[in-house]
Amino acid sequence: MSRLFSIVHWGLRLAAPALAAAVLAGCVSYPPAPVSVSDSVYNYVIGSGDTVNVFVWRNPELTLSVPVRPDGRITTPLVEDLPAQGKDASTLARDIEKELSRFIRDPVVTVIVTQFAGSYSEQIRVVGEAVRPQALPYKQRMTLLDVMIEVGGITGFANGNGATILRTREGNKQYSVRLGDLIRRGDVSANVEMRPGDVLIIPQSWF
């Protein structure tokens, strides 16, 4: 259990009380996760660790690729310490245009995200008995199977069918998922859609 709790501690910053309770209460019954949860279009939200390409039309000297710093800001020529985290690419482009308009006439800016880490609040976190527990950037229509591919599956000590999803966007509501059936039996009916901010908790088997 010490190994499980050390991994869980890594992902507690987002939903510490509910997550700790979920791991300890492995025998609690939760409703199954809905297979599909949204038909809306997802706009990617920039996070620290991303890299963005800033293109300024007719101003090649202002066009460059910059990282989003740990404080969530970017610095480009003529624009210092502009907040980027929590915005989509279009919103950030308009903000850069506003700043540049003090120096050049009618700037036209395009922002393209080229490397993805994702906003902290929207990352998918996998804790417990995954081969590689980690935080993943959310992608539109991301499924449980997609997440399992990214983390390398579950360990031989995992209670796959005892896994749960903690859905932070629904007030930390918890759903059961059948990881064991999905991975070891290939039961695609156990595949479900993930949502931004989900925490996937994979407990250790007691047998």
- Half-sphere CA count of 43, side-chain side, radius 13 A: 7
State both tokens at 13.
């910053």
Instruction: Provide the pLDDT for residue 204.
Output: 96
Specify whether 30 is located in the same domain as 55: no
pTM reported for the whole predicted model: 0.80
Does residue 7 form part of some domain?
yes
Nearest-CA neighbor of 162 among 206, 131, 193? Answer: 206
Instruction: Provide the pLDDT for residue 38.
Output: 67
Does residue 80 form part of some domain?
yes
Instruction: Provide the pLDDT for residue 206.
Output: 83
pLDDT > 70 in the chain, percent: 85
- For the chain, the first-to-last Cα distance in angstroms comes to 13
Domain end marker among 66, 91, 115: 115
Task: Report the alpha-carbon distance of residue 84 to residue 81 in Å, rounded.
Answer: 9
Instruction: Provide the pLDDT for residue 27.
Output: 54
Identify the band that residue 81 occupies on the pLDDT scale cut at 50, 70 and 90: very high
Q: What is the pLDDT of residues 119-130, one digit of tens each?
A: 999 999 999 999
Q: Identify which has the larger pLDDT, 12 or 81.
A: 81
Task: Compute the radius of gyration of the chain from its Cα atoms.
Answer: 20
Q: Which domain holds residue 144?
A: 2-42+120-202
Specify whether 163 is located in the same domain as 189: yes
Specify whether 63 is located in the same domain as 109: yes
Instruction: Provide the pLDDT for residue 9.
Output: 47
Instruction: Provide the pLDDT for residue 175.
Output: 98
Q: Identify which has the larger pLDDT, 39 or 154.
A: 154
Q: What is the pLDDT of residues 162-205, one digit of tens each?
A: 999 999 999 999 999 999 999 999 999 999 999 999 999 999 99
Contact call for residues 34 and 192 (beta carbons, < 8 A):
yes
Task: Report the alpha-carbon distance of residue 200 to residue 144 in Å, rounded.
Answer: 9
Whichever domain contains 57, its CATH number is 3.30.1950.10
Looking at this protein, which amino acid is placed at residue 35?
Answer: V
- pLDDT value at 17 more than 80: no
Whichever domain contains 124, its CATH number is 3.10.560.10
Total domains, the chain: 2
Domain end marker among 99, 115, 131: 115
Specify whether 55 is located in the same domain as 141: no
Q: Whose structure tokens read 């869980």?
A: 8
Specify whether 111 is located in the same domain as 145: no
Domain end marker among 78, 94, 115: 115
Instruction: Provide the pLDDT for residue 37.
Output: 77
